[in-house]
Amino acid sequence: MRWILIPRWRGSTAMSASVGAITIPAWAWEQATVRQALRRRDIASVFAYVQQYSGASQARIAAAVDMTQSRVNEIINRRREVSRLDVYERIADGLDMPDDARHLLGLAAGREKRSGGAAFDLSAFPEVVRVYASQASAREEIQQQARAAQELDVLAVRGLGLIGLNDSLLRACLPRGQGGHGLRVRVLLLDPESPALARRAAEIGESEESLASGVRLAEARLRELAETCDIQVYRYGMLPIWRMIRTDNTMFVSAFDAGWEGHESATYKVMETPHGPLFRGFRRMVEAIVDAAERTV
């Protein structure tokens, strides 16, 4: 009888999976520096902290998150950014992030992802086509979209960094040289006299007077555009939650929260699709805010 010896590890999925396994202490995810990196979606720093707290090599990180070692090296050395939502998911799964860490990264909890069905399947949300770490990372694409748009909606708090100043994100994109023909602009700003403004000022550690003055300055600067483009400015009175720029069928959405401004939050690029709920929901929300708001320009 002839015996044929077959090494068991070659066919063992469990053993293959363990080769790149990384163990990170639970307390490491609670460190302030790690949490800040997650909230900024700074994957270069996250990988560096993984190396620090686990001793993992770039090769082990690459195996865990299903990347090549060269790609991990590029990310760590900031020659490449991570921006796709599915890659964030893969990193979170590969590093076995706890739910709190996943939430800071802007992802659903792991148990929701496993048991929630299609509601948490990224393929069910083709509208979210890209995720930027912050507005600064999306700046070039936002400006490109705005220059070609027929409609531009801006939902902000004071809007100075978006459209109120000469060097703001969107002001230079308005076709003032052509008199703004064909472009309709709507800007929604927080009512400087509303209780919501006082609450927002407290959230970001700013005086009510300073925040209100910023809104009024933005209104004054936007009023200057009334003769060069079709611009409408509104004051709304609800607590700001979403910061949004819509250019025709594309939105760039980020969130306000206690302690940070909207431009510091991750920015999601959302595109209109025939059956997608996100774009339609955000647009419906803007229209409802306009209906209840006071037009000032």
Mean pLDDT for the chain overall: 82
The region that residue 275 occupies, defined by phi over 0 for left and psi between -120 and 50 for alpha, beta otherwise, is alpha
Q: Is the pLDDT of residue 115 over 70?
A: no
- Write out the DSSP string of 45-107: HHHHHHHHHH---HHHHHHHHT--HHHHHHHHTTSS----HHHHHHHHHHTT--HHHHHHTT-
pLDDT in the model for residue 35: 87
**Percent of the chain at pLDDT exceeding 90:** 43
pLDDT in the model for residue 245: 95
292 — pLDDT class (breaks 50, 70, 90): very high
Q: Which of 7-21, 65-79, 280-294 has the lowest mean pLDDT?
A: 7-21
For domain 20-123, which architecture applies?
Answer: Orthogonal Bundle (1.10)
Q: CB count, 10 Å around CB of 249?
A: 14
Q: Are both 20-123 and 135-295 of the same fold?
A: no
pLDDT in the model for residue 119: 40
Q: Is the pLDDT of residue 3 over 80?
A: no
Strand partners, 242: 255
Which whole number is the average pLDDT over 191-205? 93
Which whole number is the average pLDDT over 269-273? 87
Q: Is the pLDDT of residue 202 over 50?
A: yes
Q: Which of 21-35, 144-158, 168-182, 230-244 has the lowest mean pLDDT?
A: 168-182
Q: What is the pLDDT of residues 235-256, one digit of tens each?
A: 999 999 999 999 999 999 998 8
Which whole number is the average pLDDT over 106-135? 62
Each residue of 218-241: b (16+ CB within 10 Å) or e?
Answer: bbebbeebeeebbbbbbbbeeebe
Q: Is the pLDDT of residue 10 over 70?
A: no
Which whole number is the average pLDDT over 118-126? 49
Q: Is the pLDDT of residue 5 over 80?
A: no
Cβ contacts of 192-196, under 8 Å, gap ≥ 24: 192/216, 192/235, 194/235, 194/237, 195/237, 196/237, 196/238, 196/239, 196/240
Q: Is the pLDDT of residue 102 over 50?
A: yes
Q: Is the pLDDT of residue 66 over 80?
A: yes
**Range of 117-121, 173-177, 215-219, 223-227 with top mean pLDDT:** 215-219
Q: Is the pLDDT of residue 269 over 50?
A: yes
> Phi then psi for 233, rounded to 5 degrees?
-125, 135
Residue ranges of domains in the chain = 20-123, 135-295
Which whole number is the average pLDDT over 188-211? 94
Q: Name the superfamily (CATH) of residues 135-295.
A: Endonuclease Chain A (3.30.870.10)
Distance between CA atoms of residues 238 and 286, nearest Å: 12
Q: pTM value? A: 0.63
